[in-house]
Amino acid sequence: MIYRASKASLPLNYHQYFLALLFGSIGAIVNLYPIDLAYNISLIVGNTAYIIAASFLRPGLTLLCALISVIPLYFYWGHPFGFITLGLEAWFISMLRARGWYVLTADLLYWFIIGMPLTAIFLWCNLEIAQSVMIFTLFKQIINAMLYTSLACILLFTFNDYFQSIKSSHKPLVKSLPKWLLYSFWSISAFFVICVSLLLSTNFTQVQKALLVQELKINNSYITHIGNSYLNEHQQALQNLSYQLSGITNPIAKQTTLSKFHHLYPGFLTMFIATKQGELEIASPISLMERLSIKQRSVIDRPYFIHAMQDQKLFVSAVFLGRAFGNDPIVAISAPIYANNKLNKPSGIVEGSLNLGSFGLYDKIKLDEKQIRTIVTDQNNRIIYASDSLGLETLTTLKYDDRATRETPNLISLTIGGNKNKMFILEQKKLVNSWKIHSLVEHSFALKIIEDMYLVMFIILFVTLLTATFFAKRFAIHLSRPLSFVMKELSKAKKTGDFRDIPFEAPSEIQELYQELKINRLALLNHQEALQNEVLQRTYELKQANKKLTEQANTDILTGLYNRRYFAKNFVIMQSFLSRNNSNFMYAIIDFDLFKKINDTHGHLFGDYCLIEVAKILKAFFNRESDIVARFGGEEFVVASQYNDLELLKVRMNKLLKKIETHTFQNDSIGPIKLTISIGVAVGDANYSTQQEDWLAVADKCLYYAKDNGRNQTAIEVVDIATKH
C-alpha cells in the first residue's frame, strides 16, 4: 500500500516542478526585454509568470519560479536585491493564496508591509542612489508590481478553463458576488489605468527629454561658439601683435605696444616677449618682471618657445600650470618675432597666457532653477574648466562611468566633490582645437519630472481603486438584490403560481430567468405532488405486500393457523410477559386419533379437509388475543395460553373434546364421519422455563399418556419449578 501511494505521488511532484520551471523560464525570457521608458527607467512584466504560478503552486515552488524569472534582472540592475524582494513577493503571495486570499490583494499587502520598506532599506544602504531616487523608486516599484499583478489576474480570468485543469496545491477560492466584482474591477482598472498613465507619461517624458537635450545642445553650441570665437580672436590678435613687434626695435616702444595690446585683450592673464636665447625681455603687466628672479626669466625649455622658434608659426599649447607668473592652469599662445622683418630667422617670440576662467562667464544658463553644468577638456581629456558646483580639479583627467541605455544613450555617473557619485545627462561638442565642451544636467532633475508624474499616477491609481471598490459594491447590490428576491420567492411552495414580480430594476436576463424558474418551479411542484401521491400509493401497496408476505411466512398454508415458526417466535414473547407478571401458563398439544387410518381409508384430500375443520374449531375455541394456536406439523396442533384456574381448564378441555367428537366431518362418498382427538397439557408458573422444549416435553408426555389410556381424552400435568431438574 505504501509503495503504491509513493508511486502515485511522483507524477504530481514532477508535474508541479515542471510547471515551476516552465513559468520561471517564461518569466526569465520576458524579463530579458524590460520596457524602457526614459532616463534609465524601465518596467518589467516577466514577473507576471510567477504571479500566475503563485495561484496554484505551493510557496516553495513559487519561490523557485520567481528566482528563475529574476536572473536576467540581476545582470540588468547589477545588484541582487531583486532576488530578495521579488522572491519574497512570490513566496508571500503563494502563502496567502493557500489561505484563501486573492492574488491582487495579497500583492498589495506585501508591498505595503514588506516590499516598500525592504526596498527603502536597500536604497538607503546604497548611498549612491538612495538620496536622489528613493521615493521615485518606491513609487515605480509598487506601480510596476500592480501592472504585472493585474495583468496576471486578467490572464487568470481570461484563461480560467485552462488554469482550472492544472492540479492546484491550493484550495479553490470561495468567490461571493461582491468579492468577485471587486476583484475583477480592481484588476482591470489597475491594469488599464497604469497602461494609459504610462503611455501618456512616456510620451510626455520623451517630449521633456527632447527639450532637455535640445537645451543642452544649445548650451553646448553657445559655449562652443563663444569658446571658438574666444580662441580664434586671441590667436588672431597675437598673430597680428607678432607682426607689429617684428617692425619695432626700440625696447620702450615694444613695452608700450605690448601693454596697449594687453589692455585691449584682458583674456590674457600675462604677456611677455622673449629673445631668441629664451630670456624674458618685456612683460605685461610691467610689475611681473620685478617679481621674477634671474632663473625664472628663462623660458627656453617651454614648449611654446621651442615650437614657435622652430616651426616659425603660431602655436597653442596644451593646458599646463604656470611657473613664473603663478600656479594657475593656463594655455600659452605664442608666435615668432622677426627683427627687421627677416622672415627666415626669428629674433624671439611673443606669448600670452590665456585666462581659462573666462569660460565661467558663459556657464550661467539655468533650466527650471537647475543650473546646467559645464566642463571644458583639452585634447588630452584633461579638465580645463569645470563648474564650481562639480568640485572637479583642473588639469585632472575627466573620468566617468557610462550608464547608457537604449532610451538614454547619454547617461553617465560622475564622481563629484571627492567621493560622491551622481548621475548626469551629458551632451558633448568639440572646439576647433580639439577641446571638448561637456554640458551636463543632473539626472535627478530630469527624474523629478517623471517622479512627479508617477506620484500623480499613484494617486490616480489609489483613487481609481477606491472608486472601483465603491462601484463594485454598488453593482453587487444591484445584481444580488433581484437574485435574492427571486431565490426567496421561489423558495415558497406556491401551487397556485401566484409569484410576485421583481419590485425593483433588474437586468432583462434576470427577468427572463425568473420567468423560466417560475414555470419550472410550478412544474416541479406538480411533479413533486404527483411523486408524493405515487410514493404514498406504492408505500401502501408495499405495506400490504409485506403484510401478506409476513402472514404467508407465519401461517400454515393448509389450515390458515399460525405455523411452527411463528409459534416458536411468539412463545418467547408470551412466556417472558407472563413470567414478569407471575402468571400461569398453559402449553397444549392436540393430536388426531388414528389419523393415519383416516388418510389410508378415505384419502389424503379428506384428511386435509379434517385438518381444516379442526383448525376452525380450535381457532374459534381459543379466541383471546393472547392465545396462540398453531399447526405444529402433520396432524398435531399446539396452543399457548394463560390460565387462572386448573379446574376450569379441565372443564374447558373436555368441552373441546366433546366439540370435536360431536362434529360431523362430511364425506361425499360414504357420508358423515366422526373423529376424536387426544390432548396433552403442561400447566404451571410461567417462570418454569424460558425454553419451549421444556414445556413441549411435558405436554408431549401427557399426550402419549392420553393415547395410551384410550384416546379421546385430556392428560394434564402441573409443572413445578423446584422439580424441574
Q: What is the CATH number of the domain that holds 258?
A: 3.30.450.20
In percent, how much of the chain has pLDDT > 90?
A: 16
210: in domain? no
Residue 555 above 50 pLDDT? Answer: yes
Q: Does 240 lie in the same domain as 327? A: yes
Q: Does 251 lie in the same domain as 126? A: no
Residues 478, 601: Cα–Cα separation, whole Å: 97
Residues 405, 613: Cα–Cα separation, whole Å: 120
List own/partner pairs for 111-114 with CB under 8 A and 24 or more apart.
Answer: 111/141, 111/142, 111/145, 114/88
pLDDT tens-digit map of 246-262: 888 888 888 898 889 98
- CATH number, domain of 101, equals 1.10.1760.20
Mean pLDDT of 26-43: 78
Q: Which of 498, 524, 546 is the last residue of a domain?
A: 546
Confidence class for position 639, pLDDT limits 50, 70, 90: very high
Q: Does 316 lie in the same domain as 334? A: yes
Mean pLDDT of 603-625: 89
Residues 40, 140: Cα–Cα separation, whole Å: 12
At 521 the three-state DSSP class reads helix
Confidence (pLDDT) at 398: 85
The three three-digit cell numbers of residue 547, written as one number: 403484510
Q: Does 568 lie in the same domain as 495? A: no
Q: Does 135 lie in the same domain as 97? A: yes
Residues 19, 62: Cα–Cα separation, whole Å: 10
Residues 658, 676: Cα–Cα separation, whole Å: 9
Please answer whether residues 552 and 608 qualify as being in contact, where contact means their C-beta atoms are separated by less than 8 angstroms: no
Residues 604, 113: Cα–Cα separation, whole Å: 103
Residues 292, 280: Cα–Cα separation, whole Å: 10
Confidence (pLDDT) at 655: 92
257: in domain? yes
Residues 550, 331: Cα–Cα separation, whole Å: 132
Mean pLDDT of 645-649: 89
According to DSSP, the residues that pair with 562 across neighbouring strands are 555, 630
Confidence (pLDDT) at 418: 61
Q: Does 559 lie in the same domain as 506? A: no
Report cis status (omega within 30 of 0) of the bond before 507: no
502: in domain? yes
Residue 92 above 50 pLDDT? Answer: yes
Confidence class for position 586, pLDDT limits 50, 70, 90: very high
Q: Which of 356, 375, 395 is the last residue of a domain?
A: 356
86: in domain? yes
98: in domain? yes
181: in domain? no
In percent, how much of the chain has pLDDT > 70?
A: 87
Q: Does 586 lie in the same domain as 642? A: yes
Confidence (pLDDT) at 363: 57
Residue 11 above 60 pLDDT? Answer: no
DSSP 78: S
Q: Per the confidence metrics, is the pTM higher than 0.85? A: no
Q: Which of 504, 527, 546 is the last residue of a domain?
A: 546
714-718 vs 677-685, strand pairing mode = parallel
Please answer whether residues 123 and 130 qualify as being in contact, where contact means their C-beta atoms are separated by less than 8 angstroms: yes
Half-sphere exposure in the Cβ direction for 717 (13 Å, CA): 22
235: in domain? yes
Confidence class for position 95, pLDDT limits 50, 70, 90: very high
Confidence (pLDDT) at 360: 55
* First-residue to last-residue Cα distance in the chain: 59
Mean pLDDT of 455-478: 77
Confidence (pLDDT) at 37: 65
Mean pLDDT of 474-499: 73
71: in domain? yes
Residues 675, 157: Cα–Cα separation, whole Å: 96
Q: Among 349-358, 361-370, 500-509, where is mean pLDDT lowest? A: 361-370
Q: Does 559 lie in the same domain as 542? A: no
pLDDT tens-digit map of 673-712: 888 999 999 999 988 888 999 999 999 999 999 999 989 9
Phi-psi region of 444 (alpha: psi -120 to 50; beta: other; left: phi over 0): alpha
The number of folded domains in the chain is 4
Confidence (pLDDT) at 201: 67
Residues 562, 554: Cα–Cα separation, whole Å: 6
**CB burial readout 5-32, b (16+ within 10 A) else e:** eeeeeeeeeeebeebbeebbebbbebbe
Confidence class for position 407, pLDDT limits 50, 70, 90: low
* Average pLDDT of every residue of the chain: 81
Q: Does 245 lie in the same domain as 153? A: no
Please answer whether residues 434 and 381 qualify as being in contact, where contact means their C-beta atoms are separated by less than 8 angstroms: no
Pick from 438, 442, 409: nearest CA to 424: 442
515 vs 449, which has greater pLDDT?
515
Mean pLDDT of 233-245: 89
Q: Does 693 lie in the same domain as 572? A: yes
According to DSSP, the residues that pair with 439 across neighbouring strands are 374, 427
Residue 267 above 50 pLDDT? Answer: yes
pLDDT tens-digit map of 494-549: 666 677 777 777 777 777 777 777 777 778 878 888 888 888 888 888 888 787 77
Q: Does 127 lie in the same domain as 33? A: yes
Confidence (pLDDT) at 66: 92
Q: Does 559 lie in the same domain as 687? A: yes
Range of the domain at 157: 16-174
400-402 vs 411-416, strand pairing mode = antiparallel
Residue 193 above 80 pLDDT? Answer: no
